Amino acid sequence: MPFKLTTTSLPDAVYLALRESIIATLDPPGSVLTEATVSARYTVARPTAKAAIERLVSEGLLRRSTNRTARVPVLNESDIEDLHAIRIVVEVAALRNLAADRTVPAGALSAHRELLAAADIGGAATFARADIAFHRALVLGQSSPRLARMHALIMGEIELCIGQVDSKRLLTASNVAVQHQGILDAVAGGEPELAGTRTREHILTSRDRLLGHIHGAPGASSGA
């Protein structure tokens, strides 16, 4: 079932619904999304569908092939390793900034509460939306606008990775909530090195579960 449109402007609603569908892997890696198919799915005009597609291309959640067809990227092992290496550099620096100032952004707390609610539901609960919102809020809440811009450049592809970890149940909402709480505690306690270390460990856990799944490795699941 495609995600339903939310109550916002129509172009934004199509963009948000399509974005959610891609992250949830309802449009899995390799899927082709044309103006015609998006237009038919959401019963909107083709220019509206085109605007949503182009916006997602600009964010890295879709890619244009040589024949200009938009597809959901298929990230290989090298892509995943590179993305997470860059993510570590940016987010560790951001969390050290936050911890130095003992700044806990309100948006991160709100996302963490959403994640805790999902964890209370149990193993079937999804966490991608709250996880993405948590990390975006942390980086946006620190003092360097350049770090925030760097983070925004890679977050589309990172969100594809988070969506796959969630949809394949490689981690649970409870797993992620525990890691997030540790990060928040380090920030609130004014411990920059600990905040950076816990952020790095959190990112590497997600990366390794996804790579393990690709390789079919034992233990690449939420129960390991």
Burial class (CB in 10 A: 0-12, 13-18, 19+), 2: middle
26 or 2, which is more confident: 26
Would you give the DSSP letter of residue 24? T
Distance, CA of 180 to CA of 108 (rounded, Å): 9
Please report the DSSP string for 108-139 in residue order: HHHHHHHHHHHHHH-TT---HHHHHHHHHHHH
Distance, CA of 113 to CA of 136 (rounded, Å): 15
Please answer whether residues 152 and 140 qualify as being in contact, where contact means their C-beta atoms are separated by less than 8 angstroms: no
pLDDT in tens, 161-205: 999 999 999 999 999 999 999 999 999 999 999 999 999 999 999
Residue 221 has pLDDT above 60, yes or no: no
Sequence ranges of the domains in the chain: 10-71, 77-215
pLDDT in tens, 58-82: 999 999 977 789 999 999 999 999 9
CATH tag, 77-215: 1.20.120.530
CATH tag, 10-71: 1.10.10.10
